[in-house]
Each structure stands twice: as C-alpha cells, then as structure tokens.
Amino acid sequence: MKKFYIISNTVKDKDNLVTSKLIKSLKKHGLEYNLRDETGTKKGSYNFKYTDASKIDKDTDCIIVIGGDGTLIQAARDLAVIDIPIIGINLGYLGYLAEVEPDGIDEMISMIENNNFKIESRIMLTGDIYRDGKLIYEDISLNDIVCSRSSVLKIIDFKVYVNDEFLNLYSADGIIISTPTGSTAYNLSAGGPIVEPGANIIVITPICNHNLGSRSIVLSADSNIKIEICEDRHNENNKTALYFDGETLFELAKGDVIKIRKSKLCTRIMKLNRRSFVEVLHNKMN
C-alpha cells in the first residue's frame, strides 16, 4: 500500500497533533497521502454527511480515520460505495473499531507497509421507509438501525415480520436491528448478545419490552425484516423515529412500514495482526 487518504475529526484532534504525527510518519516512509478538505462539505446531505467519496482518488489504497468509533462509522457510511479498506486511530473512549492508539502510529505504518494486516469484510444494513405504499426514505448503517421514541416517555407498539412471516407484536421503548459490528454498541447496552464481528447474521433486540418473555433473536443475514408502526393506543401524538447508526434520524408516522435487509455494500476494516477480537473484548470488558 502506497497511497492513503486521511479523515481527521477536528473536534477530537483540535490542534491537529495526531494528524501531524500521522503525516510525519507517512512522509518518513515515503508514502503518498491526501487530507480531507472540509471546505464546502455538504453536512447533512443525503449522499454524504462529512466526506465526499467522489473527491477520493481511485488509486487510494487505504483510508485512515482519526477520531473514535463514531467517526469511523460515519466514514464507513459515507465511503461504502468506493470499497476502500479503513483503519482507525482512536481518540475516543471504547475503540472497538478504531484500534490504533496515537502512540502506535509509526508501528501501524510499518505493519501496513510490510503487509502485516488483514482486512475484515463487515456487513451493513439497508433500511427503506414506506408510507402509503411509497418509498420515502432509505439509508445504510454499519452498526444498527433503531426504531425508537423521539418524544414523550410512552411505549410504542409495532409488529415485526421476518421473511414476510409474522414474528411478534412488541410494546416497548423501541427495537434494535443490529449487525455483528454493532453488537457491542446499543445492542449490548439493551441486553443483546455480543457477536463475533465477521459473522454473517442480524440481531433483533427489543428495548425495554413490556413482555417479560421477550429476548433477542439471531437471524441469518439473508433475512428480510419488516416493522409496521401501529396506531398509538392513547390516541396521542407519540412521535417515533428511525435512527441509522445513531446519526441520521427520520420521523415516522402511524402505518409506516420499515424494511430492513443486508446491504449490497459492505465496510472493509483493516486490522493489524496483533490483537484478536477476544483479546479486545477482554480488555474492554475489564
């Protein structure tokens, strides 16, 4: 790998100390790089939020993201269409995805230069929202798609179908549809299972469900999931929304149908050959 593209979260790297350290290391190894220019970015646009994939050279070998897991997830959503491996330098808290610490930058560049890495393909989800039978919104996620309240603290009712077969009527705060990558995020906090990130499955986890017998359900990644928003039992304006990776929000209405499936796009995460998922999990759990 000879050419890199750098995405830096300037909120976390305020003085560009880590970005400068990375650039210095790339130069020392005689490697090419381009740095994302934030000028003119269309934040909040449909096509991308922070990084415009069309501005990345086609011969780029790797994208280096400086920030936390959230920064890497947003980059993955913006750049899934160009299928370039991503590696993260962690300036956040957990660092499940952004595995490299700032003091390990030079080691990271050396390992990449010596092909001492592996690339993991992580599945993504596509979520389509239908109103009166018409598609009104669609988006992708790397971690999860969450249907939840966006207003007062009252439960919402919704029906869930899998492959067009009725699964359950939930009365809950919401429901999480998670990828294996997202299993250690909101899914974990809601009591869902931790899943090996390379697995080809989808997890459904209700949030504070009022049915005591409700549990998470693990499905094949080929499953098609449908959620129908039921009428508010209190006849009040109990607002509900669909969240993509906790970043993009779309307000839902009674009768809306959400269809969720494995995306045709995926995220390729570069992992250095030094820590297994079990070791990372052990460190984070302790």
Active site members: 69
- Beta carbons within 8 Å of 269's beta carbon, 6+ residues apart: 85, 86, 87, 97, 119, 120, 122, 197
Among candidates 230, 99, 124, which has minimal Cα distance to 180? 124
Q: Between β-strands 32-35 and 62-67, what pairing exists: parallel, antiparallel or unpaired?
A: unpaired
Q: Where are the beta strands (DSSP E) in the chain?
A: 3-8, 32-35, 62-67, 86-90, 117-131, 134-141, 144-149, 156-162, 165-172, 174-178, 201-207, 217-220, 225-229, 240-244, 248-252, 257-272
Q: Do residues 150 and 170 touch, judged by C-beta distance below 8 A?
A: no
Task: Quote the CA–CA distance of 205 and 216 in Å, as a whole number.
Answer: 4
Tell me the sheet residues that pair with 140: 126
